[in-house]
Amino acid sequence: MNNRSRNVFVYVLIIAAIAAIVFGVRNNSTNAREISVSRLVSDINSGRVSAISASDEGELTATYDNNDIRTAQIPANTEDPVSVLASLGADKEQLNTVEFEFTKPSNLFNWIGLIGTFLPLLLIGGFIYLMLRQAQGSNNQAMSFGKSRARMFTGDQPTVTFDDVAGADEAKEELREVVEFLKDPERFIQLGARIPKGVLLVGHPGTGKTLLAKAVSGEAGVPFFSISGSEFVEMFVGVGASRVRDLFDQAKRHSPCIIFVDEIDAVGRQRGAGLGGSHDEREQTLNQILVEMDGFDTDTNVIIVAATNRPDILDPALLRPGRFDRRVVLDRPDMRGREAILKVHARGKPLASDVDLSVLAKSSPGFVGADLENLVNEAAIVAARKNKKSISMRDFEEALERVVLGPERRSRLISEEEKRLIAYHEAGHAIVFHKLPHTDPVRKVTIVARGMAGGVTWTMPENDGALGTTKRYFDQIAGALGGRAAEEIVFGDVTNGASSDLENVTRIARTMVTRWGMSPKLGPRVFGQKEELIFLGREIGEQRDYSESVAEVIDEEVHEIVSTAYTRALDVLRENRDKLDAVAERLIEVETLGREEFLELMGDRPPGPASEPPGEPAARAEASAKGDGKQPDSDMPPAPLGTAPSPA
């Protein structure tokens, strides 16, 4: 039942209720005018009655001289009501003065009376039905709590194949065996081979796990059951387990087929961690999944494909051999993978001759498939906004900047003093990043507000390397503190514009000491054990496995790393004070500096005549001045500093 039908049903109930009230009032008013036959005879004898209407049901409707109406009841099917009244004592002369009319009963009023009798019951039943529909959802029939909500796609006309999946060559090779088994299972069974019952797709959000599962179904040409892990669990006890049984029954009837469970961590989290203990509804659902996977025979030809980005919180019983035998990892694509993904998403779109997808791929390290799809779509929107017939490279550059930092906020009004302060802050970032040897090259510096940031300094790595050295982290911390150092040198005071810078560098320095073993005093050791709330998947604390004296040393080491980096940033800016002033003054004048102009101000020749790369990567961009980016916690992040700007 859709929303429109539901609204019509509600209106009908309201009209019926009003009709029931009206007819009830009418019936009550009619019953109030009813009199006895003897009273009617007395009124006839007194000459007060002027007309009488009689029906086959024996109802006499008397009209009085004052236009009042009374009813009286005589035996039904009476052929001569006058004789009946005369036999009861009515005066014949007075009866002759009364006008008699004989009418047949109307079937309409009979039906109305019947409806009025049963209408309250119908209203109550309709209300209960409507409440059941609301509790169950619009996609299910009433009382179908235990039915599976999985959507089945036939494999006759596949919409997604392996050609639509790019940047995951290793993952596709792992899944080709599954496709071959579904197409020709006898070839494996004759050799005594057992195909994996379950395949777990693991990867960051947006890497294409769901797309790859659909591609497996499209390549094999078999039915495809798709369901989300959250759709199993309801507020009613036993509903999730019942839906699991129904899903597997459907799959067995349509074998060979594929069952795809998206976000399986919603129902597959470790047991015993929930608020309800072993009686938790989610755990009952998980237990039923485990039982059903164990019940699969070799001739069932049903393969379960599940996707998650949190494999660390899944129940160990779900990951053992015989259930999810194979784990396929979808990592962030490299430069070649990003170029292949861009080619897939650029199909059917009119690209200008100056568009170079390899340059875009190089300029977007850290991007996953969803990010690249969004990049291409934003570029198309930018081109459409300009009424262009094709998408140019400039449109992609603008789209990349919008994706990373948000649109420009040129309408933001700031004072000349604040503008000068932001310019020196960003110039300090850029110069320190440029002068230190283990940092990424500066690609763009701007004091135009982007997103939540008042100004931004962008850096872009030369490659996709995910490992970071001690020297690199020291230099990155110094570059992040370059803005605050410039404020102290030029103005003799500091602002809160470096609040996010300080937060980031403190977190990185502590991670270097406690997680990465980069402290000379403490050596290669990990300090503290993280405690996580499994059923929420979040870290709630850290168990200290070290003494108070070690904690003091950790604090000293963190302070030493940050202080040394800050001193280094001050030294670099004091040695290059003339360049700091030049870059800041130029930023005040033009607001944005590209790589070539920045290198010219620094006295360095740009490396070749190549044009400025479009935009900067999400994983490496440095946001500063009135707010710098924050980086999610990770043991081995691709970059020490984040990109999403935040207010100071």
In degrees to the nearest 10, what's the CA dihedral of 374, 380, 382, 385?
-140
Token readout for 458 is 């962008």
What distance in Å separates the CA atoms of residue 322 and residue 160, rounded to the nearest whole number? Answer: 28
H helix or E strand, kind and range, residue 459 = strand 455-459
Q: What is the 3-state secondary structure (H, E, C) of 11-41?
A: HHHHHHHHHHHHHHHHHHHHHHCECCHHHHH
Query: Positive or negative CA dihedral for 159, 163, 166, 169?
Result: positive
Q: What share of the chain is helix, strand, coil (3-state, %, to 5)?
A: 50, 15, 35
Q: Residue 621 phi/psi, 5° resolution?
A: -65, 140
Length reported for the chain: 648
Is 542 designated active site?
no
Helix (H, G, I), strand (E, B) or coil at 191: coil
What distance in Å separates the CA atoms of residue 615 and residue 314, rounded to the nearest whole number? Answer: 38
Query: Position of tokens 């017939």?
Result: 389
In this structure, the strands spanning 442-446 and 455-459 are antiparallel
Q: C-alpha distances in angstroms, 102 versus 47, 87, 107, 647? A: 21, 19, 16, 90
Q: C-alpha distances in angstroms, 193 versus 186, 189, 430, 504? A: 10, 6, 60, 52
In this structure, the strands spanning 151-153 and 302-308 are unpaired
Token readout for 344 is 């897939």
In this structure, the strands spanning 59-64 and 49-55 are antiparallel
Cβ contact 256:301 at 8 Å: yes
DSSP string, 221-260: T--EEEEEGGGS--SSTTHHHHHHHHHHHHHHHT-SEEEE
Query: Position of tokens 């140019």?
Result: 392
Q: Exposed, middle or buried, 334 (CB in 10 Å: 0-12/13-18/19+)?
A: middle
Catalytic residue from among 426, 487, 616, 622 = 426
Angle value at C-alpha 275, between 274 and 276, nearest 5 degrees = 90
Q: Cβ of 610: how many Cβ atoms within 10 Å? A: 10
Q: What residues are labeled active site?
A: 426
